[in-house]
Amino acid sequence: MTGTLGGTPRLEPGLTFVGGLELSSSEPLFGAFSSIRFRDAEHFLGVFDTGYFIEGRITRDAVGRLSGVADVRLAPLLNEEGQVSPSKYLVDAESLALESDRAYVGFEQRHRVVSYAPSSDLGHAQASAPLPLPFDVNQLRSNGGIEALVLSPSASPLAGALLALSEKSVDENGNNYAGILSGPLQGEFRVKPHDGFEITDGAFLPNGDLLLLERRFSIATGVGMRLRRIEGDTIRPGAVVDGKIIFEADNRSQIDNMEGMDAVVAEDGSVHLIVVSDDNHSILQRTLMLEFRLER
């Protein structure tokens, strides 16, 4: 891929598409990316919804564009007994957040959020007991549960709290279930959805705003991707939050089933967004890694 997405994507001023890659591997377990988090500007940790961690680092060409991934390693997500789960139903990992050397993972089907520590000991760190959630997990749809786990900045009003947001589980008013799992503002809130788009990941920006990655798919319209920016000071218990759309693209652009995103601060102070897709292990889909540059 080059420095253009193709099609007619909508980009708000201050957001630029940098470039992207199509990733592939001879390893049959590779694919099904659900979330990605960066430990620093190069090294990442992610989860597959088939029950695996993936770690590696991105590489860049002479002009700084994405050129590939290296040092990639996969490891199974172990259960509370330190064993590989016998059923895909039990390891449908959809969300990830990193705090120091601890990894929080959110699962669908059997809805729960657990932690793994140390996150550097992939394949050996076993899951904690499920964390308490501020909303009723019985209200979550089997295939539309906790799709985003995001850790807020420590200097924000949320004071480093962990947040969980559902993909397409909504209340009686049609708003997505979401919750603040820790910190001084612990409690549940809601996210207002629009136009059939569903939350697939999120990342906090350095100023405390929350950026959501959203996806839409239908036979009639194909796949769509959207980025929505929510002001951080609006997130509090009891709130219904909404935000400005800063990017939108459809299947005329070089996108796919975009499910994972993280925000990394570059040396020049700009924020780089790395977005990955879930290929569902289908020959009709691709594992893409796209990069955007966002002025603060």
Instruction: Give the domain ranges of the chain.
Output: 10-294
| Dihedral over alpha carbons 153, 80, 108, 31 (to 10 degrees) | 80
- Tell me: pLDDT of 220 over 90: no
The better pLDDT of the pair 142, 147 is held by 147
Nearest to 131 by CA among 146, 152, 109: 146
Q: pLDDT class for 267, splitting at 50, 70, 90?
A: confident
Q: What is the pLDDT of residue 86?
A: 83
> Ramachandran region of residue 14, left (φ > 0), alpha (ψ -120 to 50) or beta?
left
CA 134 vs CA 21, 139, 187: distances in Å: 38, 12, 5
Mean local confidence (pLDDT), 159-163: 97
pLDDT at 222: 87
Q: How far apart are CA 131 and CA 129, in angstroms?
A: 6
Find the mean pLDDT for residues 102-113. 96
- Per-residue pLDDT at 2: 60
pLDDT at residue 216 greater than cutoff 90: yes
Which DSSP category does 95 fall into? E
What is the C-alpha to C-alpha distance for residues 36 and 47, in angstroms, rounded to an integer? 7
Question: Given a cut of 70, is residue 111 above it in pLDDT?
Answer: yes
Place of tokens 């007991």: 129
Question: For tokens 């470039």, what's the residue?
Answer: 19
Distance CA(101)–CA(161), nearest Å, equals: 16
Fold of the domain built from segment(s) 10-294: Tachylectin-2; Chain A (2.115.10)
